[in-house]
Structure 1
Amino acid sequence: MNPVVERFLRYVTFDTQSNPDNPMCPSSPGQRTFAQALKAELMELGLAQVSLDENGYLMARLPANVCHEVPSIGFIAHMDTAPDASGANVKPQIVENYQGGDIALGRGDEVLSPIQYPELNQLRGCHLITTDGRTLLGADNKAGVAEIITAVEYLIQHPEIAHGEICIGFTPDEEIGRGADRFDVEKFGAQWAYTIDGGPVGELEYENFNAANAKVVFHGVNVHPGTAKNKLRNSMTLACQFHAGMPTQDTPECTDGYQGFFHLTSSTMSVARSQLNYILRDFDLEGLQARKALLESKVSQINQCYKQDVVELVIEDSYYNMKEKVAPFPHIIETAKQAMLECGITPNIKPIRGGTDGARLSFMGLPCPNIFTGGYNFHGIHEFATIEGMQSAVEVIVRLSEITAANIR
């Protein structure tokens, strides 16, 4: 079996779903179990400085095989899977030579359909790895982990390919926004890096949202409904009215490209207290500030109406647009583009409508754009990857390492 596929199928058997309610790092025990298995694999490959710290960050290095000075570059992926769908008992299936139409997932009625996912129409003749319709697959980001290790193994097996020092980093809890929290940039040792955490073949991204989280808490007064007149204040009513007043076209399902949004992600409801949790996204920092101001204005209006603070608002910034930190180093992007072109891939430079570890790492002094994995439909039961896309990612990593060494002569 193709080495990257064999690795990937093995890696997805680890349940590494991160837990936003656990403040520990890593937030789930399966991530540490997976990290320990990866550490053993990296040591078996003979990599140098293999380390797994107390927070679940795994790092290693492949020493340079050239005499001239070459910058150390890094490749980073995250080990956790998203909380949005189960990552336990993942049972992948391989669809060979896909010829179109619906793909049955498992034994039930769940299908992967080109009607819902038109990109399938562009993948005829490819070999697909899908779920069984009960869990996510884990291509986000175990495909990236498998691709990085397979590329490094290939470089070890082919010493005739010149390369500088390659730094490898695997992080926990990226899916809950903590992947870079305890990442030791100095220890990692790279001058720049690439997260291998993108989607379809050709994706190359160095712009992402500016992001913030908002908690809106509504305080009610609970009184027996039989004696509630002029006394009871139902916090759920306040919450519903608040959300109904949000911009209806400023949501993820109504936006794309460089358009930002408000997204209600979860809520807790009772008569006495309700809470709405939003994420705010905008590529422009001023746009993000305007979104914060809108929420603040709506909260202020309600409190003025009731002549007391019946609504509280807490906003926390999550990450910022990496373009500010990556654009001053255009050779990082140009090298990735060249590697793709020399592998027969047309680069598709586009903004990330989300965030990666690379966004925060870029602001920590490690410029870090994002490269494709060959995966689709992340975070849900319809997630899938193409074997061809995964192999292409391996080839780009190898070629990128080689070009970096050649360009410094």
Structure 2
Amino acid sequence: MMVNAGQVAIDFHNHLPADERPENTEGRQGFWHLDKIAGTPEEAQLHYIIRDHDREHFESRKDKLIQIADKMNRDLGVDRIVVDVQDQYYNMGDILEKDMWPVDLAKKAMLELNIKPVIEPVRGGTDGSIITRLGLPTPNLFAGGENMHGRYEYVSLDVMEQAWQTILKIVELSNQ
């Protein structure tokens, strides 16, 4: 009996809660983001990005993908679905909250430049999260981008100048 891999992929995706997609979440809410889908009737692949500010919830989200695959494989009577989870980014908040010095330094630099700091959690993965996990606490600094990750993403020259001035001020302050 033919089983259409595209339909199996759709069924797999539909097992995830629709209200936990990026467009239906905000702030510190975690999500599953279908980043890429490709396939034919013979083979299909779904690529997800999983984000969560809470490490236990993050691990639970990864486990849920495996549980869905296990259940579907049992229902199909054969192992058709393979889940390969590869960690890419971790939330840096749990490390930075123990050592706010880098955040405080960036905040001080911005205030000295008459730039109002806006401190909020970042919902996506960043280079800062990788560097922080490697042992160097690295908060994200603004770049002033608008419409992030969209077709009309842009950044103004004025904001970019403020960004490099902030970086230079951080270097200056850290050498005092």
Q: Same fold (TM over 0.5)?
A: yes
CA distance in 2, matches of 1:324, 1:241: 35
Task: Report the equivalent of 1:286.
Answer: 56
Task: Report the equivalent of 2:117.
Answer: 347
Q: Which runs of no fewer than 5 residues in structure 1 stay unpaired?
A: 1-230
Q: Is the 8 A contact 1:374 1:388 kept in 2?
A: no
CA distance in 2, matches of 1:331, 1:271: 54
2:42 is the counterpart of 1:272: yes
Q: Is the 8 A contact 2:20 2:32 kept in 1?
A: yes
Q: Which runs of no fewer than 5 residues in structure 2 stay unpaired?
A: none
Shift of residue 319, structure 1, vs aligned partner? 1.8
Task: Report the equivalent of 2:103.
Answer: 333
Q: Specify the SS of the correspondent of 1:263.
A: strand
Q: Following superposition of structure 1 onto structure 2, how do residues 155-304 of structure 1 map, counting pairs within 5 Å?
A: 231-304=1-74
Task: Report the equivalent of 1:3.
Answer: none
Task: Report the equivalent of 1:315.
Answer: 85
Q: Specify the SS of the correspondent of 1:383.
A: coil
Shift of residue 397, structure 1, vs aligned partner? 2.0
CA distance in 2, matches of 1:245, 1:233: 18
Q: Specify the SS of the correspondent of 1:313.
A: coil
2:170 is the counterpart of 1:381: no
Q: Following superposition of structure 1 onto structure 2, how do residues 110-189 of structure 1 map, counting pairs within 5 Å?
A: none
1:278 maps to amino acid: Y
CA distance in 2, matches of 1:263, 1:381: 18
Shift of residue 254, structure 1, vs aligned partner? 0.7
CA distance in 2, matches of 1:346, 1:276: 41
CA distance in 2, matches of 1:303, 1:378: 38
Shift of residue 260, structure 1, vs aligned partner? 1.0
Could you say which structure has the larger radius of gyration?
1
| Inter-CA distance 320–233: structure 2 relative to 1 (3 Å threshold) | same
CA distance in 2, matches of 1:240, 1:405: 55
Q: Is the 8 A contact 2:89 2:126 kept in 1?
A: no
CA distance in 1, matches of 2:74, 2:113: 61
Which one of 163, 171, 174 corresponds to residue 401 of structure 1? 171
Q: Which has the higher contact order (CA 8 A, sep 6+)?
A: 1
Task: Report the equivalent of 1:40.
Answer: none
- Between structures 1 and 2, the one with greater helix share: 2
Count of residue correspondences: 176
- Between structures 1 and 2, the one with greater strand share: 1
CA distance in 2, matches of 1:307, 1:262: 27
Task: Report the equivalent of 2:76.
Answer: 306
Which one of 142, 161, 166 corresponds to residue 391 of structure 1? 161
- TM norm structure 2: 0.91
Q: Give the superposed CA RMSD.
A: 1.6
Q: Specify the SS of the correspondent of 1:377.
A: coil
- TM norm structure 1: 0.41
Q: Is the 8 A contact 2:22 2:31 kept in 1?
A: yes
